[in-house]
């Protein structure tokens, strides 16, 4: 009987330790956008980052860049896949509260359904993705809204 109680106590302690470790891991991933900035900067050194929004699980980070473009990073374990989003290569659909379905046409980067911490974050990312495709003028330069060309 004593061995049974000891085994159950050890099993319970192991489950509690495992659950607390998972909770800490998720909090670290969700709060560490600095690593995303460094990795994206290493992949695309000429792109200046203006704003960063991570998904609720912290595995995917969307970046707003200085010239109206957008970027995306997805964690694969300890490795990151960085993607500079090109005009005409993305489709965005709302999937309910704080969720977006994003599909990349060139399949070089994995799309999917992404859940954000808030509806505001999801709306902001969708605006970045859709707003990064400014119409081009005859000279190849993006036109400013409201300006004559």
Q: State the CB neighbour count (10 A cutoff) for residue 147.
A: 7
pLDDT at residue 138 in the model: 42
pLDDT of 106 over the 50 cut: yes
Report how far residue 90's alpha carbon sits from residue 107's, in angstroms, rounded to the nearest whole number: 10
Report how far residue 40's alpha carbon sits from residue 64's, in angstroms, rounded to the nearest whole number: 11
pLDDT of 25 over the 90 cut: no
Structural contact between residues 118 and 54, judged by C-beta atoms closer than 8 angstroms: no
Tokens representing residue 119 in the block: 């509806």
Structural contact between residues 98 and 80, judged by C-beta atoms closer than 8 angstroms: no
Report how far residue 47's alpha carbon sits from residue 67's, in angstroms, rounded to the nearest whole number: 8
Structural contact between residues 95 and 113, judged by C-beta atoms closer than 8 angstroms: yes
Sheet containing strand 99-104, edge to edge, reads: 90-94, 99-104, 112-115
Q: What is the DSSP string of 102-138?
A: EEETT-SS--EEEEBSSHHHHHHHHHHHHHT-PPB-T
Per residue in 40-59, pLDDT (tens digit) is 889 999 998 999 999 988 88
Total length of the chain:
149
Report how far residue 10's alpha carbon sits from residue 76's, in angstroms, rounded to the nearest whole number: 32
Specify the pTM.
0.67
CATH topology classification for 32-131: PH-domain like (2.30.29)
Question: Which residue(s) pair with 18 in the sheet?
Answer: none
Per residue in 81-103, pLDDT (tens digit) is 888 887 677 888 888 889 999 88
Query: What would the mean pLDDT of 6-31 be, rounded to a whole number?
Result: 70
């Amino acid at each position: 009987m004593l061995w049974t109680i000891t085994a159950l106590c050890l099993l319970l302690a192991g489950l509690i330790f495992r659950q607390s470790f998972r909770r800490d891991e998720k909090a670290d991933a969700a709060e560490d956008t600095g690593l995303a900035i460094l990795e994206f900067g290493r992949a695309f050194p000429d792109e200046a980052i203006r704003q960063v929004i991570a998904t609720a699980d912290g595995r995917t980070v969307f970046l707003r860049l200085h010239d109206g473009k957008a970027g995306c990073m997805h964690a694969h374990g300890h490795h990151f896949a960085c993607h500079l989003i090109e005009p005409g290569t993305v489709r965005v659909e709302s999937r309910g509260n704080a969720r977006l379905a994003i599909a990349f046409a060139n399949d070089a980067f994995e799309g999917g359904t992404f859940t954000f911490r808030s509806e505001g974050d999801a709306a902001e990312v969708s605006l970045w993705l859709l707003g990064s495709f400014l119409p081009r003028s005859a000279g190849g330069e993006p036109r400013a809204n409201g300006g004559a060309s």
